[in-house]
Chains A and B, each alone.
Chain A
């Protein structure tokens, strides 16, 4: 089926059935997932699917419908549902569709070779990964390894004449193992996801990391409740900064539900903090040529040396705020309306190696794992469970588990006083290790 023609044709059908403006978002997916447990193939799942979402405006009112049956009769009755459902909603002058005909050039979104790799090879990779992760004698059990892949094609058309399409692929290889010692248990997991099959890390590299994470926290000790420095390891950058990104959502800001709502062009964090959102990064796991409503993606500085430079917008929220879309309309597949989201995030690295950061810390926590929601985007509060290593006199002293850390966003973000050079640019949230001078740590 020619989906480009189909999507354009469906826009016309929406208009013919009474919509004043219409957008058609059509997605075609293929997925394969393989799981291995204890050297046996545990599950294998394979499927293709497709679906279409209709967003229509009728006299300023918005209606949305979706279906996964692409027969002509079903498509017609579904688009009529969107039009009839629109009568329920309130007219809104900010209900606008994307109009920018440009598309960003993004290299390396699709690897045609993934599908050609034999199924047996993919199963073998997962088997090998599990076996390698179990080699260390401290690692006693496997929670399973897996390989996954997917391909997605997006077709977007709207009544402003936009007609866009892209294709992307992704593959995934990961494992989780358990280290035991007496009654103690600790899990360690590691995965790698890439756009291209040949870019996946080797099973040996992934296995070594998973295995190390499982055993390195054995024999933890408890520390007293105190205030001390906390080094957020690069793996937990998202836990620290995810709430900041959520608070930049332009709609949250307009609704007053963001702790950063009054901070635009103001300094709210340490001058060591610079955050860039990039939808165009070559081979980036979150890259794409246009956003969830067709606006071209871009590279954008969100935070510059602690100064808030930009909120995030889709078309309707930008219209309401009196500005332009930043190309940050996100979409969770064809069943959802455009929300607001980000792409590949890069936190500017510093000059210190992680070892230098530890050596410069007389007493504190090297944080390797955080549980909880991170910074609350509404109130700016942070509280979470913490695991990692205790630092005494500039050296790793022992592993710690079962601690808590807490503070307010302003206090934590302004207390960032060292940033590392250890950033992995292939992470979709690429963050170096960051040291917070002092935080409340809860223990015994």
Chain B
């Protein structure tokens, strides 16, 4: 997950890094890089190009398969995005974006060809189809099935469509958040409110005869609060993100997001140096689930399994974790940030149990890896935009709730670290070695949360961490995030309060 918004915003992404990352090679070649994971007024939408008729799409698919190949697909996208940034109590910038394009993919054996265009015209798409068909020049051939509209269950309901929201309402939510954070404590010196919404229209058509289209609304609201006292500083962060309409703020008022950010910024002003070495860790429910997202989720994405390099290769049906550990990826949780009605290849979203009571049950696949592994499609084929071909990605990933009372988990831990929230981290999907930076953490002494401690790193391997989870609470909760794997994806991560025995903590105190 790419978490450090500041770094992402402020440092230039150099072209070679972009290329490396885009090529996907960086994911495995340079694990260190990984440690770095908007509405429109009524009438402002440009004339939709996604209404392109099925006959044209059918012709593009036919051209894509002219050289041979086993599968071809056309993906069209239309995105309207809006971002408003408030810093230091001023509305600093307003960004309005319109993006559209189409991509053509051809699969021949294990090879994928992909080409995209900014212009959604038959001519440009046919050209992209010819470029993408390069990989199929020696392949077998199939006959595309005529396109037919498919049905998909919906998991996203919208009460207040973003198209109908006046910008003044957006501004109002931001002002309310800003004021609430400043009012929390005079030591809050600066607040940054970052409001984002977007509507993404998708059309998917493929050589299996699938034709689907939909429109996906997204909201992401971020509050950063900077506290300062006697030369000590802490920059906190709290986020709210859903695939839903503007009613998101009725369910969670902006003040609540801001107060959570402010609370962390003040609490961490007193942080002292963290201890170093191996110790027990209790992780509070919610976004902490990002630890298993990284440490276990990425290694369970089927692309590295198909390449036979993934840490869980060949372990299906085996006991890989402790009995109390069950992990699920579920793209159907209503309106959540990782939820869609179907993935970017058109596969219906579903609930996928990955590990059940410690036994490995399945991987997360896209069309290609499902073919390679002879497994079913799980609805995890996702892409950042039409500029990328789909790869296996997580949706809403979490540790299933257990039976323990969270208060008992803490009380029964004599000594260790209590992690209230994590910034984010990364994993090497081949070795399973992960790292995390704590955002808000405390010492545990005699079963009680005591001294706050400064940003310590947690490191370990996925196999160790899931074998060493010995207590799972009954308080499952989620948090929203952005996951980076050469391309970014909206996800959520969740967990109940859990205890992990023996993680290496990188503190500066001996």
Contacts and interface: CB of A to CB of B under 8 A. Distances in A.
A69 B508 CA distance: 52
Majority-rule SS of B interface residues: mixed
A398 to B, nearest CB: 18
A78 B212 CA distance: 28
A186 B431 contact: yes
Given A373-B35, A383-B456, A335 B97 contact: yes
Given A68-B99, A143-B430, A187 B28 contact: yes
Contacts of A65: 95-98
B87 interface: yes
Interface size classification for chain A: 35 or more
Interface size classification for chain B: 35 or more
A86 B189 CA distance: 26
Given A31-B22, A332-B13, A189 B28 contact: yes
B214 to A, nearest CB: 21
A65 B115 CA distance: 26
B387 A178 contact: no
A298 B128 CA distance: 40
A42 B135 CA distance: 9
Contacts of A86: 94
B368 to A, nearest CB: 10
Contact of A373 (B4, B24, B90, B109): B4
Contacts of A187: 28, 31, 428, 430-431
B118 A69 contact: yes
B251 interface: no
Given A43-B111, A64-B94, A369 B11 contact: no
B457 A372 contact: yes
A444 B278 contact: yes
Contacts of A88: 84, 91, 94, 167, 170-171
A358 B306 CA distance: 41
Majority-rule SS of A interface residues: strand
Contacts of A64: 93-96
Contacts of B35: 371-373
B506 A383 contact: yes
Contacts of A341: 10-12
A3 B484 CA distance: 33
Contact of B508 (A38, A148, A330, A406): A406
Contact of B96 (A35, A74, A82, A146): A82
Interface string A327-355: 00011100101011110000000000000
Given A43-B112, A172-B23, A385-B457, A378 B14 contact: no
A47 B22 CA distance: 13
B421 to A, nearest CB: 15
Interface string A39-52: 01111111111110
A146 B14 contact: no
13 contacts: A40-B109, A42-B111, A43-B111, A47-B131, A47-B387, A64-B93, A64-B94, A64-B96, A66-B97, A88-B170, A145-B25, A174-B20, A402-B504
Given A172-B16, A227-B510, A404-B459, 8 more contacts: A66-B96, A193-B16, A246-B10, A256-B228, A342-B12, A372-B435, A385-B506, A444-B277
